[in-house]
Amino acid sequence: PLQIIYRENFDRGPGTWIMGKNKSSPPGWHRNVLGNYGDDVALRWNATGGRSGGFAYSEPPWYFDDNHGEFMWLHLIFVAYSNKVGLAGKDLRGAQLSFSLRGRDFKPKGTTLLFWIQGPAREGGANRNWALTSRPLEGLLADGGWHDGKLSLVNDEAQWTFMGHTNGGLARKVRVTQTLDSGKGTLDAILVQQHVDWGFLLCGVDPNDPPAGRIDLDEFSLAVPSGR
């Protein structure tokens, strides 16, 4: 049996969830090829209109993250930090995620919505990023209605894709700091306890024709096998 160890219904606000937005000057996330810095900004929120009350949402313009260009360019749509939602150090292997998503005038422009998780493979190491590419979610956003989604954080790297890491963007020489095959064997440690943040990304972004419209989130829960 499973036990829910985290739940957010967004009835009282966006909680500690954030999205990646543009920032014109430092400090912030690295300056991307478009000249923007990034910043974590609280999700927008409505008190009514959700599944049973309030809901949170994310809308453009989103920060253009070019740190994983060998994998895909992306936007950070919904992000939770493990230490802010009471999950730091929790074993998330096999965790079951339940959530509701809705697209509002959403135009994906060729992007795919993926769950992602980030953390070091060992204490003090560099963060590694994995995307659950076996379970794309953009189909839940197609018709403007609420749709329930479920995911399992399977401890099987064949169902995920390591996202690698690059520095430099296109304005300077690109420096590959983590190749796409360098993450092999690191997912287990991240799921077991080293996860730092996780959430939903729009991947495959074309900066000349980015996705448009709003994405709503409600009734998020995370359950793990009992006894952990």
125-159 pLDDT tens trace: 999 999 999 999 999 999 999 999 999 999 999 99
**pLDDT score for 174:** 76
Burial class (CB in 10 A: 0-12, 13-18, 19+), 141: buried
Residue whose structure tokens are 């590959």: 176
- The answer to whether residues 196 and 82 touch, using CB atoms and an 8 Å cutoff, is yes
First to last CA, the chain: 11
- The answer to whether residues 33 and 171 touch, using CB atoms and an 8 Å cutoff, is yes
Phi, psi of 222 (to 5 degrees): -135, 125
**pLDDT score for 169:** 55
**pLDDT score for 172:** 58
Q: Which residues contact 30 (CB under 8 A, 6 or more apart)?
A: 37, 38, 67, 167
Distance CA 124, CA 201 (A): 25
- The pTM for the full model equals 0.96
**Residue among 152, 121, 110 nearest 134 (CA):** 152
- The answer to whether residues 88 and 190 touch, using CB atoms and an 8 Å cutoff, is no
Report whether pLDDT(16) > 90: yes
151-201 pLDDT tens trace: 999 999 999 999 999 986 555 567 889 999 999 999 999 999 999 999 999
Q: Which residues contact 206 (CB under 8 A, 6 or more apart)?
A: 73, 109, 110
* 2-195+203-225 to CATH, choices 2.60.120, 3.30.420, 1.10.3470, 2.40.50: 2.60.120
The domain spans of the chain are 2-195+203-225
Mean pLDDT computed over 95-118: 99
Residue whose structure tokens are 């690295």: 30
User: E-strand spans in the chain?
Assistant: 2-8, 18-23, 37-42, 44-46, 55-58, 74-81, 96-107, 112-120, 127-131, 147-152, 161-162, 165-167, 175-178, 197-203, 212-225
